[in-house]
Amino acid sequence: MQQVASRAMGITELSEAVDLPKSTVARLLKTLESEGAVERVDDAGRYRIGPAIASLAGSTTSATDLVARVRPHLLVLSQETGEDAGLSVPDGYKIHYIDQVDSDNAVQVRDWTGELIPMHAVPSGLVVLAHWPDEAIERFLKRPLHRFTESTTTDPDELLKRLKTIRTDGYAWVFEEFSEGINSVAAPILDRRGRPRAAIHIHGPAYRFPGPDDMDSIAGLLAEKTRLISDQLEAHRIR
């Protein structure tokens, strides 16, 4: 990984740099590429750091620091919407839930903290994916996409159109696409270069969330909150 951090390199060059057989290097690169850790640059077969590592580079180095700074905002979001609010960070081609604030509502959604979920199935993953470079998105969409429910979007062309809309809107709604009976909305926390550091989501039972006239107001509240958090993290230079 260190070798391709500074510049793109081919299999032969990498083999010589790490003193391993080319066949071994090729297998390792294939595995790393499947997880988004590296990506192929051109037809010549050169590789560079992939979107998963780039996302990590643009995120905080300490999940504890991130949770500490974001949790007060999760509390506010939960109180104002009456639903659970959570924080997640990109981890390869998956999204890693690292914190959640539960609402006071008698009927709650389970706590997903600690879970890793494929990006295409949840709004937190979609808002991160939407801010990746176009070529990285294309590589992601070439991979097999698991269908979790009948509503999961797995068609690459449909997902690509959806990601473009999400990038413009600044948020994503998901309706029972990861788990039946659960709806959720998320918005990204971005660094000054527009790279996704993390995402914040709000989720609740599909029968009540969102309310008939609440979609726009909830999404607007969440997008405003994540912009504020993004600015605060930049001001404190948390990387």
Tokens of 88: 């997640």
Strands of the chain, DSSP E: 38-40, 47-49, 84-91, 94-101, 116-118, 172-175, 182-190, 196-205
Q: Tens of pLDDT along 187-223?
A: 999 988 888 999 999 999 999 999 999 999 999 999 9
Whether pLDDT at 4 is above 60: no
pLDDT value of residue 2: 47
Whether pLDDT at 42 is above 80: no
pLDDT value of residue 171: 97
What value does the mean pLDDT of the chain take?
84
CATH top-level class of 2-49: mainly alpha
The span from the CA of 187 to the CA of 203, in Å, is: 12
Tokens of 10: 């081919």
pLDDT value of residue 221: 94
The answer to whether domain 2-49 and domain 63-235 are alike in fold is no
E strand or H helix at 230, and its extent?
helix 215-235
Q: Tens of pLDDT along 46-58?
A: 777 666 555 544 4
Of the chain, the percentage scoring pLDDT greater than 70 comes to 83
Whether pLDDT at 136 is above 70: yes
Q: Answer yes or no: pTM beyond 0.85.
A: no
Q: What is 63-235's CATH number?
A: 3.30.450.40
In the chain, domain spans: 2-49, 63-235
Of the chain, the percentage scoring pLDDT greater than 90 comes to 54
Tokens of 114: 């600690």
pLDDT value of residue 61: 45
The span from the CA of 10 to the CA of 78, in Å, is: 49
pLDDT value of residue 52: 58
The type of residue at 51 is P
Helix axes 22-34, 11-18, angle to 10 degrees: 110
Q: Tens of pLDDT along 58-87?
A: 444 467 788 888 988 999 999 999 999 999
pLDDT value of residue 106: 60
